[in-house]
Amino acid sequence: MIKAIFFDIDGTLLSHTTGRVPESTEFAIHQLRKKGIRLFVATGRHKLEIEELPVNKLSFEGYITLNGQIYLNAYGKLMHSVPIKKADMLKIVSIFERKEIPVLLVERNRMYINFVNESVCYAQEAISTPVPEVGIYRGDQIYQCIVFDDGSRVNTLIKELPTCKMSRWNPYGVDIISKEGGKVAGIRYCLQHFHLASSEIMAFGDGENDRDMLHYAGVGIAMGNADDIVKGSADYVTESVDRDGIYAALQHYKML
């Protein structure tokens, strides 16, 4: 029996074709909540970004953000975090400050980039998000960095960060986080907190950073707009976000 559901945002809850959450998804979430099913977000985004998106009008019991690096409860209280380890953090800061490649640093309450080029603009436009502000590092803890590159430089970079891992969310955008993090790490914390088993959860996603989550969940559902490699990690492939994929999958599993 499914007792909780975890939703990715981009390409899952949120359509970047329309810039909206489908009405069928809003209806489904309302019905699920009435049934007492716990609902969570599991996204690579920062909470500051979520607050500016249409998904903000939907309420969730918790928010796994930055690909599992930070978990916030429904009221925004920090419940769990996995920062990048200091040695790798200092290497990332050095790369950020050299300004040879666009690097966005993500802190608990702040996110900023070293410089902006066409790759940054393209990647941000693809997720309906403004270009981040340019800023300087002030010494705070880093939970995630985003490298904007479509070539081999990011592969070379990750080899210099032994305690980190990466996942690509766009032809020009790569998330780098601690190896101890990831959406599954955030989900495990939720399950422990709410006394749930992985067999009792369902997860929806469409991106490379959702693969582990879809495999880990009792029922992992890939959106129809997902890449084939993501679909291969799922138990079921539903329609695309623009064809009411979440609603269709919930009907398939007789949850609506």
Read off the pLDDT of residues 118-140 as tens digits, 9 standing for 90 and up. 999 999 988 888 899 999 999 99
Confidence band, pLDDT 50/70/90 cuts, at residue 16: confident
Question: In terms of domains, do 92 and 174 share one?
Answer: yes
Between residues 7 and 129, the one the model is more confident about? 7
Q: Taking all residues of the chain, what is their mean pLDDT, rounded to a whole number?
A: 94
Instruction: Check residue 249 and give its pLDDT.
Output: 98
Question: In terms of domains, do 60 and 93 share one?
Answer: no
Question: In terms of domains, do 105 and 173 share one?
Answer: yes
What is the extent of the structural domain holding 64?
4-82+181-252
Question: In terms of domains, do 73 and 188 share one?
Answer: yes
Instruction: Check residue 127 and give its pLDDT.
Output: 84
Instruction: Check residue 170 and give its pLDDT.
Output: 81
Reading the block at residue 7, the tokens are 């939703």
Structural domain count of the chain: 2
| Stated pTM of the model | 0.89
> Measured between alpha carbons, how far is 113 from 119 in angstroms, rounded to an integer?
13
Mean pLDDT of 31-48: 95
Confidence band, pLDDT 50/70/90 cuts, at residue 83: very high
Q: What is the 3-state secondary structure (H, E, C) of 122-173?
A: HHHHHCCCCCCCECCCCCCCCCEEEEECCCCHHHHHHHCCCCEEEEEEECCE
Residue 115, SS3 per DSSP:
coil
Question: In terms of domains, do 166 and 102 share one?
Answer: yes
What is the torsional sign of CA 4, 39, 171, 145?
Answer: negative
Question: In terms of domains, do 92 and 55 share one?
Answer: no
Question: In terms of domains, do 186 and 161 share one?
Answer: no
What is the torsional sign of CA 62, 29, 59, 224?
Answer: positive
Indicate which CATH number applies to the domain containing 107: 3.30.1240.10
